[in-house]
Amino acid sequence: MKVLICDPIDPEAVETMRRAGIEVDVRDTITAEELEAVAADYDVMVVRSRTKVTAAVMDKAPNLKLIVRGGVGVDNIDVKHAQAKGIEVRNTPLASANSVAELTIGYFFALARQIPQATASMKAGQWEKKAFSKGIELAGKTLGLVGCGNIGQLVAQKAAALGMTVLFYRRTPTEVPGATQVSLDELLARSDFISLHVPLTPETHHIIGRAEFEKMKKGVYIVNCGRGGTLDEAALYDAIVSGKVAGAALDVFEDEKEDRGRRLMELPQVIGSPHVGAGTVEATERVGAEVAQIIIEFARS
């Protein structure tokens, strides 16, 4: 069995697979064109969020039997096409969940106290004590979670421990300790902070858009460490400029590295990071270990 590692994973995971007798090629900066050119040589592909496994790639990979996404979502894989070709698609939904949840909580604090802006001001030689003494506490505020799977439930747990009232919207009835399930409209109307934790599907594309911003409180804060495309970034921009949204923190963007995200980052009320929710030492190790386990078990089946 030949495995192609298309995106960086923990080196120990690569060695674990090799010790199990699996041939592993690491090409973790491979381009889309290069991937199509070599796809026929491999039985398994491992990707994270960078590489897209399209129908065109699969059509050039007659030996491909398994695609493993090291992470939560699989929106960078054409799952329907994989199913039609009998290619199994797996992911590691729990391995990076805590890291993403902690980044989300970190963004709540950063927005509430303008920590990045205050740091930038200090580095510029300013001492703007009065300007940065108007923060808010998280305790007593209402958090609305749009989506409440593995990551959302961890965020709910941590937010409740901070004294926040936690609401969540999910299409299926779900029990989440310390949180209350409500309709999306009720969540929008009551929340001081709104955090997105839904996968990107046709149904969730722009689940938060212009109509939803109209239903929110004035001065709400928006956080998206979930999936780009679930939040209408053009509508968010206008909502911030109008004063409806007090601030936003984004780890993901609809078109990463493109103009829409850069335009948002020009606003002083917006803070962000380059899709690093799962970018911790611990998550990298857990993701790699789970990827290796999936592939070794697949090879032995």
Contacts of 175 (CB under 8 A, 6+ apart): none
Helices (H), 124-200: 150-161, 184-190
Q: Nearest to residue 235, comparing CAs of 209, 214, 201?
A: 209
Same structural domain for residues 68 and 138?
Answer: no
Taking the C-alpha atoms of residue 287 and residue 72, their distance in angstroms, rounded to an integer, is 10
Q: What is the DSSP string of 110-136?
A: HHHHTHHHHHHHHHTT---TTTTS---
Same structural domain for residues 121 and 75?
Answer: no
Is 113 annotated as catalytic? no
Catalytic residue among 170, 227, 286, 290: 227
Give me the amino acid identity at 291: V
Same structural domain for residues 105 and 220?
Answer: yes
Contacts of 42 (CB under 8 A, 6+ apart): 2, 3, 4, 25, 61, 63, 64
Is 210 annotated as catalytic? no
Is 256 annotated as catalytic? yes
User: In degrees, to the nearest 5, what angle opens at C-alpha 71 toward C-alphas 68 and 79?
Assistant: 50
Same structural domain for residues 71 and 159?
Answer: no
Q: Nearest to residue 46, comparing CAs of 28, 68, 78?
A: 68
Same structural domain for residues 135 and 58?
Answer: no
Same structural domain for residues 38 and 118?
Answer: no
The encoded tokens of residue 125 equal 């030689």
Taking the C-alpha atoms of residue 109 and residue 118, their distance in angstroms, rounded to an integer, is 13
- Tell me the residue range of the domain where 35 lies: 2-92+280-300
Same structural domain for residues 216 and 170?
Answer: yes
**pTM (2 d.p.):** 0.91
Could you give the dihedral angle defined by the CA atoms of residues 96, 221, 164 and 284, in that order, rounded to the nearest 10 degrees?
Answer: 10
According to DSSP, the β-strands at 142-146 and 44-47 are unpaired
Taking the C-alpha atoms of residue 204 and residue 298, their distance in angstroms, rounded to an integer, is 32
**CATH number, position 129:** 3.40.50.720
Q: At 145, give phi and psi (nearest 5°).
A: -100, 115
Taking the C-alpha atoms of residue 200 and residue 219, their distance in angstroms, rounded to an integer, is 26
Q: What is the pLDDT along the chain (301 residues), one digit of tens a residue?
A: 999 999 999 999 999 999 999 999 999 999 999 999 999 999 999 999 899 999 999 999 999 999 999 998 898 999 999 999 999 999 998 999 999 999 999 999 999 999 999 999 999 999 999 999 999 999 999 999 999 999 999 999 999 999 999 999 999 999 999 999 999 999 999 999 999 999 999 999 999 999 999 999 999 999 999 999 999 999 999 999 999 999 999 999 998 766 657 789 999 999 999 999 999 999 999 999 999 999 999 999 8
Same structural domain for residues 157 and 235?
Answer: yes
Catalytic residue among 256, 258, 282, 297: 256
The pLDDT, as a whole number, for residue 258 is 67
- Which region holds residue 71: left if phi is over 0, alpha if psi is between -120 and 50, else beta? left
Cβ burial of 163 (10 Å; 0-12, 13-18, 19+) is exposed
Same structural domain for residues 27 and 102?
Answer: no
Same structural domain for residues 52 and 118?
Answer: no
Length of the chain: 301
Q: Nearest to residue 60, comparing CAs of 96, 79, 85, 80?
A: 85
Taking the C-alpha atoms of residue 204 and residue 227, their distance in angstroms, rounded to an integer, is 10
Taking the C-alpha atoms of residue 112 and residue 72, their distance in angstroms, rounded to an integer, is 27
Same structural domain for residues 105 and 76?
Answer: no
Same structural domain for residues 228 and 114?
Answer: yes
Task: State how many domains the chain has.
Answer: 2
Taking the C-alpha atoms of residue 74 and residue 95, their distance in angstroms, rounded to an integer, is 14
